[in-house]
Structure 1
Amino acid sequence: MSPVKPVGLGFGLLGTTNTAPISDAQAEEMFAAAWEMGLRRFDTAPLYGGRLSEERLGRLLRGHPRDACVLSTKVGRYRAYAAHVVNPKDNPGDWHDYTREMTLRSVEESLRLLGTDHLDIVFVHDCDAYLDAARDGALPALAELKAQGVIGAVGCGSNSAATHAALLRDSDLDVLMVAGRFTLLDQSAADTLLPLCLSRGVQVELAAPFNSGILATGPDVAATRFDYQPPDAALRDRVRAIQAACQAEGVALKRAALHYAAAHPAVTRLVLGLIHADGLRSNLDDLSAPVPDTLWPALARLDIPNPTSLTS
């Protein structure tokens, strides 16, 4: 069986330095496994390791037909090369630049590192506090590159549903990468953003369906994370209740989390993190296995809305 929605891979892990670093050999093994499993949608960003992810992904793509995969990167948020990471969500030293000049330079550098002459998608990255700058600088620059055939689609990538909705109302976007905002723990994209995408015909790639880990590991793993941070006791209790409701329907929490994120009609693809072969295969197996019709009503009793009915 095939997954209920197409799956892509985010290559943030290729940019880690001091936090959970992986070797080139491990990266090659993971990528080879993903390719063998049929995955062809790959996403990276200058932020990830200060272009270390782009550099390594470019090496992994050598020898593979370029037109066989869908490749994206981002512009606007940056980090020094191989910088020490204290806080993945808001690391000291990160900077934002959404000017036309920087956007064009950034795309040029991404093309060089990734070893390609075109990108399928470029996202404006985390412009939550810089909406006007993105509208005035980065988005027009990306539109120019799209008109030239250098990029195929223009999008926004953010952890904020409000950012996506604000840009979508007055900008011509093709695709959004919505990270962590339609999950078992957070449905903030449901009321406005996802219905707007349906009405506008804008694709939605739903990233971070596990909210950085806790919806995969469960609440009782000490090192688990919610939105890159340690979860507090109340959040762990909330996940514990969700897990119990899923188990009562014969569904593991991780499988339920994946199916929930994929079930909304606006979601066209899930984007998962690059992981070892067994973990990736487990996720694909979960997405290929059905969940009972009784799962969504059971979760509704915990005030988690039915994902299949959230269209307006």
Structure 2
Amino acid sequence: MTGSAAHGAPSRLPFDLPRLGIGTAPLGGLFQEVTDQDAAATLGAAARAGITYFDTAPRYGHGLAEERLGRLLPPAGIIEPVISAKTGWLLRPGPDGAPGDVVTDWTERGIRTSLESSLTRPRRSSVDVLYLHDADDHAEVVRRTACPAVRRLRDEGLVRAIGFGMNHSGPLASYVAEFDVDVALIAGRFSLLDHDALTTLLPLCVKTGTAVVVGGVLSTGLLAAPFPGAMFNYRPVPAEALARAQRCRALCAEFEVPLAAAAIQFPFLHPAVTSVVVGCRPATEVTANAAASRFPIPDELWHRLAAAGFVPPQLLG
């Protein structure tokens, strides 16, 4: 089990998703502005690290992350990226072209309009994966119009695979159970600090052959740098979560393993998981996360983490 314990289950995806991808919300200015120069350096570091998978959405910087992918990926040396995009939300421009509102639209016309914009900004004729984005409370309209719409887009070849991308594993599991989708993106609910996806979503995805992409494995940065002032689940970290992260780091340090390495490789202990996407802002984070994804992790550390409650014991056989 040294390294990750990936032993992936059969997947209905028509292609292989790369094991490690970059979540592009930081390139859209999440938490702080990123210059074009810094975004180009981040994507250049991805090219040098062999990372070709990028997850994006219109809501990331009001289209800025998508636009930067289209403009900066080829100069970075990534000619044939794997891109997952999201739909269900439309961007409304403000006065004089300034960013305006982001509104939900689950109609077929809204789904198509969103995808057309998400193809224009990154300068592509198709995307590899299209997720219905944060559809938690929209089951009726998803059932009536959104799911049929993305299926037609897949049939037309504008997308290669379809799925749902959400932050809550319960509603996501319900959608996977009901709809014929290829992939599910779960953010923040399967990490060293949160095992919520384990009880419902992941076993279901093994049964249905639905590939799983896990985001938020660093818990908004806490598992990269567990210090006071860190963010956790997009908010300032509570004392209890900080103490748990620091305990986890101390256990990893006993084996001379970086905490980020255990955090990034943890999801692959489950056979449903195909890929992990990690948000990266500076180029140094890309390089560090790529190295962490390959760092050797001894079996004994996984068992120590399990005994401390950070790894569900059933994942270790």
Of 160, 164, 181, which aligns to 2:168? 160
Of 241, 255, 274, which aligns to 1:268? 274
Amino acid at match of 2:164: C
User: Offset of 1:20 from its aligned partner?
Assistant: 1.3
Q: Per the alignment, do residues 151 and 65 of structure 1 end up closer, same or farther by CA in structure 2, a change over 3 Å counting?
A: farther
Structure 1: give runs of 5+ residues left out of the alignment. 84-91
1:130 aligns with 2:138: yes
Contact 1:50/1:78 (<8 A) preserved: no
Amino acid at match of 1:11: T
Amino acid at match of 1:15: G
1:7 aligns with 2:20: yes
Looking at structure 2, the residues matched to 270 and 145 of structure 1 have their Cα atoms a distance apart, in angstroms, of: 25
In structure 1, the residue matched to 2:228 is 221
1:279 aligns with 2:291: no
Amino acid at match of 2:48: E
Looking at structure 1, the residues matched to 197 and 52 of structure 2 have their Cα atoms a distance apart, in angstroms, of: 26
* Corresponding pairs, count: 298
Amino acid at match of 1:126: D
Amino acid at match of 1:214: L
Deviation sequence 1:185-220 (CA, Å, 0-9, x none)? 1010111111111111111111111111101111x2
Amino acid at match of 1:110: S
Contact 2:89/2:114 (<8 A) preserved: no
In structure 2, the residue matched to 1:120 is 128
State the identity %: 34
Of 284, 289, 294, which aligns to 1:288? 294
Amino acid at match of 1:156: F
Contact 1:179/1:206 (<8 A) preserved: yes
User: Offset of 1:173 from its aligned partner?
Assistant: 0.6
1:77 aligns with 2:89: yes
Amino acid at match of 1:239: A
Length-normalised TM-score, structure 2: 0.86
SS in 1 for 2:197: coil
SS in 2 for 1:294: helix
1:309 aligns with 2:308: no
In structure 2, the residue matched to 1:38 is 50
Q: Per the alignment, do residues 279 and 66 of structure 1 end up closer, same or farther by CA in structure 2, a change over 3 Å counting?
A: closer
In structure 1, the residue matched to 2:16 is none
Of 242, 248, 254, which aligns to 1:242? 248
Of 183, 197, 209, which aligns to 1:175? 183
Deviation sequence 1:120-139 (CA, Å, 0-9, x none)? 11100011111222222221
Structure 2: give runs of 5+ residues left out of the alignment. 7-18
User: Offset of 1:93 from its aligned partner?
Assistant: 5.5
1:202 aligns with 2:218: no
SS in 1 for 2:293: helix
SS in 1 for 2:299: coil
Contact 2:21/2:278 (<8 A) preserved: yes
Q: Per the alignment, do residues 107 and 242 of structure 1 end up closer, same or farther by CA in structure 2, a change over 3 Å counting?
A: same
Looking at structure 1, the residues matched to 292 and 141 of structure 2 have their Cα atoms a distance apart, in angstroms, of: 41
Q: Which has the higher contact order (CA 8 A, sep 6+)?
A: 2
Contact 2:258/2:292 (<8 A) preserved: no
User: Offset of 1:61 from its aligned partner?
Assistant: 3.3
Contact 1:79/1:94 (<8 A) preserved: yes
Looking at structure 1, the residues matched to 94 and 216 of structure 2 have their Cα atoms a distance apart, in angstroms, of: 23
Contact 1:48/1:79 (<8 A) preserved: no
Looking at structure 1, the residues matched to 116 and 152 of structure 2 have their Cα atoms a distance apart, in angstroms, of: 13
Q: Per the alignment, do residues 261 and 160 of structure 1 end up closer, same or farther by CA in structure 2, a change over 3 Å counting?
A: same
Q: Per the alignment, do residues 79 and 221 of structure 1 end up closer, same or farther by CA in structure 2, a change over 3 Å counting?
A: farther
In structure 2, the residue matched to 1:87 is none
Please, which moves more after superposition, 258-267 or 203-212?
Answer: 258-267
Please, which moves more after superposition, 50-59 or 240-249?
Answer: 240-249
Q: CA RMSD in A?
A: 2.5
Amino acid at match of 2:187: A
Contact 2:154/2:160 (<8 A) preserved: yes
Looking at structure 2, the residues matched to 63 and 27 of structure 1 have their Cα atoms a distance apart, in angstroms, of: 12
Q: Per the alignment, do residues 38 and 135 of structure 1 end up closer, same or farther by CA in structure 2, a change over 3 Å counting?
A: same
Deviation sequence 1:14-45 (CA, Å, 0-9, x none)? 2217x311111111111122112211111110
Alignment of 1:86-101 (within 5 A): 94-101=102-109
In structure 2, the residue matched to 1:47 is 59
